[in-house]
Amino acid sequence: MIKGAVARSEGRHELVSTDFTAPSPGQSGQAIFAVAVADGFDPSKRGGTLLVAISTETIDKLLHDPTGFGPHGEAILAGSDGQLRSTSRFGNNQADMIADSFLKEGLASGTYRGENVLAASQRLKWGGHDWTVIALESIVEVFAPAMTMIWQIAAITAITALAALVVAMVASQSISRPIAHLVIGMKRLASRDASAVVGGTSRADEVGDMSRAVLVFRDNAIARVAAEEHAKRSQAAVESDRRMAESARAERLRVQADVVSQIGRSLSALVEGNCLAQ
Protein backbone atom coordinates (compact mmCIF):
# COMPACT_ATOMS: atom_id res chain seq x y z
CA MET A 1 0.00 0.00 0.00
CA ILE A 2 2.88 2.37 0.82
CA LYS A 3 4.63 1.56 -2.46
CA GLY A 4 1.37 2.20 -4.28
CA ALA A 5 1.00 5.61 -2.62
CA VAL A 6 4.59 6.57 -3.48
CA ALA A 7 4.12 5.40 -7.04
CA ARG A 8 0.93 7.46 -7.41
CA SER A 9 2.73 10.57 -6.18
CA GLU A 10 5.57 10.26 -8.72
CA GLY A 11 5.64 13.23 -11.06
CA ARG A 12 2.70 14.91 -9.31
CA HIS A 13 2.67 17.91 -7.01
CA GLU A 14 -0.80 17.44 -5.50
CA LEU A 15 -1.90 15.20 -2.66
CA VAL A 16 -2.74 11.67 -3.74
CA SER A 17 -3.98 8.66 -1.83
CA THR A 18 -4.69 5.01 -2.06
CA ASP A 19 -8.20 3.69 -1.62
CA PHE A 20 -9.33 2.76 1.87
CA THR A 21 -9.05 -0.91 2.58
CA ALA A 22 -12.25 -2.55 3.79
CA PRO A 23 -12.43 -2.82 7.57
CA SER A 24 -12.89 -6.24 9.10
CA PRO A 25 -14.01 -7.37 12.56
CA GLY A 26 -11.35 -6.33 15.03
CA GLN A 27 -9.28 -4.44 12.44
CA SER A 28 -9.94 -1.10 10.81
CA GLY A 29 -9.07 -0.28 7.24
CA GLN A 30 -6.77 2.50 6.17
CA ALA A 31 -5.62 4.64 3.27
CA ILE A 32 -2.21 6.18 2.62
CA PHE A 33 -2.08 9.84 1.61
CA ALA A 34 1.12 10.89 -0.14
CA VAL A 35 2.60 14.13 -1.39
CA ALA A 36 6.02 14.75 -2.96
CA VAL A 37 8.52 16.78 -0.91
CA ALA A 38 11.06 18.96 -2.77
CA ASP A 39 14.81 18.52 -2.28
CA GLY A 40 16.21 21.01 0.21
CA PHE A 41 19.16 21.87 -2.01
CA ASP A 42 17.48 21.68 -5.38
CA PRO A 43 13.74 22.50 -5.20
CA SER A 44 13.28 21.31 -8.75
CA LYS A 45 14.10 17.83 -7.65
CA ARG A 46 12.06 15.45 -5.54
CA GLY A 47 13.61 15.02 -2.17
CA GLY A 48 11.18 12.48 -0.76
CA THR A 49 7.55 11.64 -0.12
CA LEU A 50 5.40 12.59 2.89
CA LEU A 51 3.10 9.72 3.79
CA VAL A 52 0.11 9.95 6.16
CA ALA A 53 -1.96 6.90 7.08
CA ILE A 54 -5.59 7.59 7.89
CA SER A 55 -7.65 4.85 9.52
CA THR A 56 -11.30 4.17 8.71
CA GLU A 57 -11.91 4.85 12.42
CA THR A 58 -11.71 8.55 11.48
CA ILE A 59 -14.50 7.99 8.95
CA ASP A 60 -16.47 6.01 11.53
CA LYS A 61 -16.36 8.92 13.99
CA LEU A 62 -18.01 11.11 11.38
CA LEU A 63 -20.56 8.59 10.15
CA HIS A 64 -21.54 7.14 13.54
CA ASP A 65 -23.15 10.43 14.59
CA PRO A 66 -26.84 9.46 15.16
CA THR A 67 -28.12 13.00 14.72
CA GLY A 68 -31.08 13.01 12.34
CA PHE A 69 -31.43 9.22 12.26
CA GLY A 70 -34.02 6.94 13.78
CA PRO A 71 -33.17 4.25 16.34
CA HIS A 72 -31.88 1.90 13.61
CA GLY A 73 -30.68 4.40 11.00
CA GLU A 74 -27.03 4.99 10.10
CA ALA A 75 -24.64 6.32 7.48
CA ILE A 76 -21.94 4.26 5.74
CA LEU A 77 -19.22 4.76 3.17
CA ALA A 78 -18.92 2.31 0.28
CA GLY A 79 -16.46 2.01 -2.58
CA SER A 80 -17.33 1.58 -6.24
CA ASP A 81 -16.76 -2.15 -5.78
CA GLY A 82 -19.64 -2.29 -3.26
CA GLN A 83 -17.36 -3.02 -0.31
CA LEU A 84 -17.90 -0.97 2.83
CA ARG A 85 -15.20 1.50 3.80
CA SER A 86 -16.75 2.10 7.23
CA THR A 87 -18.30 0.02 9.98
CA SER A 88 -21.82 0.02 11.39
CA ARG A 89 -22.47 2.30 14.34
CA PHE A 90 -24.19 -0.65 16.00
CA GLY A 91 -20.91 -2.52 16.29
CA ASN A 92 -21.77 -5.88 14.73
CA ASN A 93 -20.61 -5.37 11.18
CA GLN A 94 -22.65 -8.19 9.64
CA ALA A 95 -22.48 -6.75 6.10
CA ASP A 96 -19.27 -6.05 4.19
CA MET A 97 -20.96 -5.49 0.84
CA ILE A 98 -23.72 -3.11 -0.21
CA ALA A 99 -26.29 -3.64 -2.96
CA ASP A 100 -25.50 -1.99 -6.30
CA SER A 101 -28.83 -0.14 -6.18
CA PHE A 102 -27.54 1.81 -3.17
CA LEU A 103 -24.43 2.96 -5.06
CA LYS A 104 -26.49 5.03 -7.50
CA GLU A 105 -26.89 8.63 -6.46
CA GLY A 106 -30.40 9.46 -5.24
CA LEU A 107 -33.05 7.52 -3.37
CA ALA A 108 -33.42 3.75 -3.39
CA SER A 109 -34.93 0.95 -1.37
CA GLY A 110 -33.67 -2.52 -0.61
CA THR A 111 -32.41 -4.84 2.10
CA TYR A 112 -29.53 -4.04 4.41
CA ARG A 113 -28.50 -6.14 7.40
CA GLY A 114 -31.69 -8.22 6.92
CA GLU A 115 -34.01 -5.25 7.14
CA ASN A 116 -35.99 -3.35 4.50
CA VAL A 117 -34.54 0.13 4.28
CA LEU A 118 -34.71 3.38 2.36
CA ALA A 119 -31.37 4.82 1.21
CA ALA A 120 -30.24 8.28 0.19
CA SER A 121 -26.90 8.12 -1.67
CA GLN A 122 -24.38 10.81 -2.57
CA ARG A 123 -21.36 10.13 -4.83
CA LEU A 124 -17.99 11.38 -3.60
CA LYS A 125 -15.11 11.52 -6.05
CA TRP A 126 -11.58 12.51 -5.04
CA GLY A 127 -8.11 11.59 -6.14
CA GLY A 128 -9.30 9.14 -8.74
CA HIS A 129 -11.42 7.24 -6.23
CA ASP A 130 -15.17 6.87 -6.36
CA TRP A 131 -16.95 6.50 -3.03
CA THR A 132 -20.61 6.75 -2.06
CA VAL A 133 -21.93 8.09 1.23
CA ILE A 134 -25.18 6.25 1.98
CA ALA A 135 -27.75 7.20 4.63
CA LEU A 136 -29.90 4.19 5.55
CA GLU A 137 -33.17 4.27 7.45
CA SER A 138 -35.60 1.48 8.28
CA ILE A 139 -38.79 1.71 6.20
CA VAL A 140 -40.80 0.98 9.32
CA GLU A 141 -39.18 3.88 11.14
CA VAL A 142 -39.49 6.19 8.13
CA PHE A 143 -43.22 5.64 7.89
CA ALA A 144 -43.81 5.30 11.64
CA PRO A 145 -44.63 9.04 12.11
CA ALA A 146 -46.96 8.92 9.11
CA MET A 147 -48.66 5.77 10.43
CA THR A 148 -48.93 7.33 13.87
CA MET A 149 -50.51 10.40 12.31
CA ILE A 150 -52.89 8.22 10.27
CA TRP A 151 -53.97 6.36 13.39
CA GLN A 152 -54.38 9.64 15.25
CA ILE A 153 -56.45 11.06 12.41
CA ALA A 154 -58.52 7.85 12.32
CA ALA A 155 -59.05 8.02 16.09
CA ILE A 156 -59.98 11.70 15.94
CA THR A 157 -62.32 10.99 13.01
CA ALA A 158 -63.96 8.11 14.89
CA ILE A 159 -64.35 10.19 18.04
CA THR A 160 -65.73 13.10 16.02
CA ALA A 161 -68.15 10.81 14.18
CA LEU A 162 -69.28 9.25 17.47
CA ALA A 163 -69.71 12.68 19.05
CA ALA A 164 -71.66 13.86 16.00
CA LEU A 165 -73.84 10.74 16.21
CA VAL A 166 -74.53 11.32 19.90
CA VAL A 167 -75.32 14.99 19.27
CA ALA A 168 -77.56 14.03 16.36
CA MET A 169 -79.39 11.47 18.50
CA VAL A 170 -79.82 13.94 21.35
CA ALA A 171 -80.95 16.65 18.95
CA SER A 172 -83.31 14.20 17.26
CA GLN A 173 -84.79 13.19 20.59
CA SER A 174 -85.10 16.80 21.71
CA ILE A 175 -86.97 17.63 18.49
CA SER A 176 -88.82 14.42 17.63
CA ARG A 177 -90.37 13.89 21.05
CA PRO A 178 -91.95 17.37 21.30
CA ILE A 179 -93.13 17.08 17.70
CA ALA A 180 -94.65 13.65 18.43
CA HIS A 181 -96.46 15.14 21.42
CA LEU A 182 -97.64 17.99 19.22
CA VAL A 183 -98.97 15.51 16.64
CA ILE A 184 -100.87 13.65 19.39
CA GLY A 185 -102.28 16.93 20.68
CA MET A 186 -103.34 18.04 17.21
CA LYS A 187 -105.08 14.69 16.61
CA ARG A 188 -106.98 15.10 19.88
CA LEU A 189 -107.92 18.62 18.87
CA ALA A 190 -109.07 17.30 15.50
CA SER A 191 -111.31 14.85 17.36
CA ARG A 192 -112.81 17.82 19.29
CA ASP A 193 -110.93 16.96 22.49
CA ALA A 194 -109.86 20.33 23.87
CA SER A 195 -108.31 18.82 27.01
CA ALA A 196 -104.99 18.09 25.27
CA VAL A 197 -101.92 19.41 27.10
CA VAL A 198 -99.52 21.36 24.84
CA GLY A 199 -95.90 21.37 26.02
CA GLY A 200 -92.78 23.17 24.78
CA THR A 201 -94.41 26.60 24.54
CA SER A 202 -91.47 28.15 26.42
CA ARG A 203 -88.88 26.97 23.86
CA ALA A 204 -87.24 29.65 21.72
CA ASP A 205 -86.81 27.48 18.61
CA GLU A 206 -89.10 26.33 15.80
CA VAL A 207 -90.58 23.63 18.02
CA GLY A 208 -91.61 26.36 20.46
CA ASP A 209 -93.25 28.30 17.62
CA MET A 210 -95.19 25.20 16.58
CA SER A 211 -96.20 24.52 20.18
CA ARG A 212 -97.50 28.06 20.62
CA ALA A 213 -99.41 27.78 17.33
CA VAL A 214 -101.00 24.51 18.50
CA LEU A 215 -101.80 26.23 21.82
CA VAL A 216 -103.69 28.91 19.88
CA PHE A 217 -105.62 26.18 18.07
CA ARG A 218 -106.42 24.52 21.39
CA ASP A 219 -107.58 27.78 22.97
CA ASN A 220 -109.70 28.47 19.91
CA ALA A 221 -111.15 24.96 20.16
CA ILE A 222 -111.92 25.50 23.83
CA ALA A 223 -113.57 28.82 23.00
CA ARG A 224 -115.55 27.18 20.18
CA VAL A 225 -116.72 24.38 22.46
CA ALA A 226 -117.71 26.94 25.10
CA ALA A 227 -119.59 28.96 22.49
CA GLU A 228 -121.36 25.85 21.26
CA GLU A 229 -122.32 24.91 24.82
CA HIS A 230 -123.56 28.44 25.43
CA ALA A 231 -125.53 28.35 22.18
CA LYS A 232 -127.06 25.02 23.19
CA ARG A 233 -128.02 26.39 26.59
CA SER A 234 -129.49 29.53 25.02
CA GLN A 235 -131.46 27.45 22.51
CA ALA A 236 -132.73 25.20 25.32
CA ALA A 237 -133.79 28.26 27.30
CA VAL A 238 -135.62 29.71 24.29
CA GLU A 239 -137.29 26.36 23.65
CA SER A 240 -138.30 26.16 27.30
CA ASP A 241 -139.73 29.67 27.18
CA ARG A 242 -141.62 28.81 23.98
CA ARG A 243 -143.09 25.69 25.52
CA MET A 244 -144.10 27.65 28.64
CA ALA A 245 -145.68 30.39 26.55
CA GLU A 246 -147.58 27.82 24.49
CA SER A 247 -148.71 26.09 27.67
CA ALA A 248 -149.88 29.38 29.16
CA ARG A 249 -151.73 30.27 25.95
CA ALA A 250 -153.35 26.88 25.88
CA GLU A 251 -154.40 27.32 29.48
CA ARG A 252 -155.89 30.71 28.70
CA LEU A 253 -157.77 29.26 25.75
CA ARG A 254 -159.06 26.47 27.94
CA VAL A 255 -160.19 28.92 30.59
CA GLN A 256 -161.77 31.09 27.97
CA ALA A 257 -163.51 28.06 26.50
CA ASP A 258 -164.80 27.07 29.95
CA VAL A 259 -166.06 30.61 30.53
CA VAL A 260 -167.74 30.69 27.15
CA SER A 261 -169.22 27.23 27.83
CA GLN A 262 -170.55 28.34 31.20
CA ILE A 263 -172.00 31.50 29.72
CA GLY A 264 -173.62 29.41 27.02
CA ARG A 265 -175.11 27.02 29.53
CA SER A 266 -176.37 29.94 31.63
CA LEU A 267 -177.99 31.57 28.63
CA SER A 268 -179.52 28.27 27.63
CA ALA A 269 -180.90 27.79 31.13
CA LEU A 270 -182.22 31.32 31.17
CA VAL A 271 -183.97 30.86 27.87
CA GLU A 272 -185.46 27.57 28.94
CA GLY A 273 -186.69 29.14 32.23
CA ASN A 274 -188.48 31.98 30.50
CA CYS A 275 -190.22 29.58 28.19
CA LEU A 276 -191.54 27.50 31.11
CA ALA A 277 -192.80 30.66 32.81
CA GLN A 278 -194.87 31.59 29.90
Residue with the bigger pLDDT between 13 and 236: it is 236
Please, what is the average pLDDT of the chain?
83
Task: Report domain extents, the chain.
Answer: 1-55, 146-225
For the chain, how long is the longest CA-to-CA vector? 217
Q: What is the pLDDT of residues 217-244, one digit of tens each?
A: 777 877 887 888 888 888 888 888 888 8
Instruction: Report d(CA 227, CA 220) in Å as an integer.
Output: 10
Task: Please spell the DSSP secondary structure of the chain, one letter per residue.
Answer: -HHHHHHHHTT--S-EEPPPPPPBTTB--EEEEEEEEE-SS-TTSEEEEEEEEEEHHHHHHHHT--TT--TT-EEEEEETTSBBSS--TTS----SB--HHHHSSEEEEEEETTEEEEEEEEEEEETTEEEEEEEEEEHHHHHHHHHHHHHHHHHHHHHHHHHHHHHHHHHHHHHHHHHHHHHHHHHHHHTT-TT-----TT-SSHHHHHHHHHHHHHHHHHHHHHHHHHHHHHHHHHHHHHHHHHHHHHHHHHHHHHHHHHHHHHHHHHHHHHHHH-
- pLDDT at 122 (0 to 100): 94
Residue 144 has pLDDT above 90, yes or no: no
Residue 274 has pLDDT above 70, yes or no: no
- pLDDT at 276 (0 to 100): 54
- pLDDT at 194 (0 to 100): 65
Residue 9 has pLDDT above 60, yes or no: yes
Q: Which residues contact 108 (CB under 8 A, 6 or more apart)?
A: 101, 102, 118, 119, 121
pLDDT band at 196 (very low <50, low <70, confident <90, very high): low
Give the mean pLDDT of 165-177: 81
Q: What is the pLDDT of residues 94-127, one digit of tens each?
A: 567 888 889 999 999 998 888 899 999 999 988 7
- pLDDT at 135 (0 to 100): 94
- pLDDT at 209 (0 to 100): 77
Q: Which residues contact 105 (CB under 8 A, 6 or more apart)?
A: 121, 122, 123, 132
Q: What is the pLDDT of residues 39-83, one digit of tens each?
A: 777 777 877 888 888 898 989 999 999 998 888 899 999 998 888
Residue with the bigger pLDDT between 175 and 99: it is 99
pLDDT band at 7 (very low <50, low <70, confident <90, very high): confident
Give the mean pLDDT of 250-272: 83
User: How far from 64 is each of 75, 77, 101, 136, CA to CA, in Å?
Assistant: 7, 11, 22, 12
- pLDDT at 153 (0 to 100): 94
